[in-house]
Amino acid sequence: MLKHILVTDSTLRDGNHAVAHQLSAKQIALYAEAADKAGVPIVEVGHGNGLGASSMQVGLALEDDVTMLETARKHLTKSKLGIHVIPGFATIKRDLIRALDIGVDVVRVASHCTEADITQRHLGFVRERGKEAYGVLMMSHMASASVLVEEAQKMELYGAEGIIIMDSAGAYLPSDVEEKITALVNGLKVPVGFHAHNNLGMAIANSMTAIASGAKLLDATARGFGAGAGNAQIEVLAAVLERTGYITGIDFYGILDASDLAEKEVMPIVPTIKSESIVSGLSGVFSGFAKHVTRISKEYHVDQRDVYRELGKRKVVGGQEDIIIEVVMDLVKNRK
């Protein structure tokens, strides 16, 4: 029996975190064209925190949403154009309508793992417009399997055609993935997906555990280009999936070429698992904080590892970047 897996390439969205949201229109065009040629099913594009997120708090993007989406749309002829949407950052009237008019095909509406209620209007609107709508539960390591099922069921009720849980901090081990994906598969009627981060070096293993546990949707990026220590590498994932008998529709040589191009033209450095990334994963801290923590810690001569541990204790989540400076200042005070 054929085993199909739907892969979303988040290089041009999650990868934007790794460069402080400074991907250029030229870089977006180059990679979108390469991913399209490789037959990637969905190419996700935008600010690291999604549609409408460019701001002083979470980071100003080099290009505005319209420029990024119009550029990608021109270069995606086979691949679907996807976006990440967090209600609060993105409004329906200002942002979502405009994005759909540009030609976005797939909208993934995201919330913190215990706040699915905020996705109802956005998911409903996308379905009304006849576009594909998925629900995303971020920082999913912060909730039990039973709570994730409850929140995912809300998104399913709101019209989500699939639910993706994100290991936003790269905190999961395969046993965690098996427990939560299995619970979601058993508790939902729609397909389940997994978005891995590599802080503990488990991104590919966790992704494969997810599909072994019943997931049908996976996320990945070229060379793992993404927040913190990066994501599951799409070229490695494609190889492992092919070897284990799964079908993605992705041309293997094509995705190798796309990843080679990304390393040369899109990313200043290839993601590695640095010491602070490991501490971030162990502490359960959002990978998108990495650039902010590095910059502020250096400015005040504070050990990044201490910052991550304290952020983990406070259970800080994406959108609370302002607390990083608060934590750093507390560490400075305690040092005196």
Catalytic residues, which ones? Answer: 17
Query: How distant is the alpha carbon of residue 276 from its chain centre?
Result: 20
For 109, phi then psi, to 5°, come to -95, 120
- Token pair of 322 as six digits: 């302002």
The residue assigned the tokens 């002083």 is: 56
225 three-state secondary structure: coil
Q: Are 190 and 161 in contact (CB under 8 A)?
A: yes
Q: Measured between alpha carbons, how far apart are the two ends of the chain, in Å?
A: 65
Q: Are 242 and 209 in contact (CB under 8 A)?
A: no
Distance CA 202, CA 97 (A): 37
- Token pair of 307 as six digits: 């910052």
Contacts of 229 (CB under 8 A, 6+ apart): 170, 197, 198, 199, 201, 271, 272, 273, 274, 277, 278, 280, 281, 287
56 three-state secondary structure: coil
Q: Are 160 and 135 in contact (CB under 8 A)?
A: yes
Contacts of 56 (CB under 8 A, 6+ apart): none
Q: Are 105 and 133 in contact (CB under 8 A)?
A: no
- Within 10 angstroms of residue 268's Cβ, the number of other Cβ atoms is 7
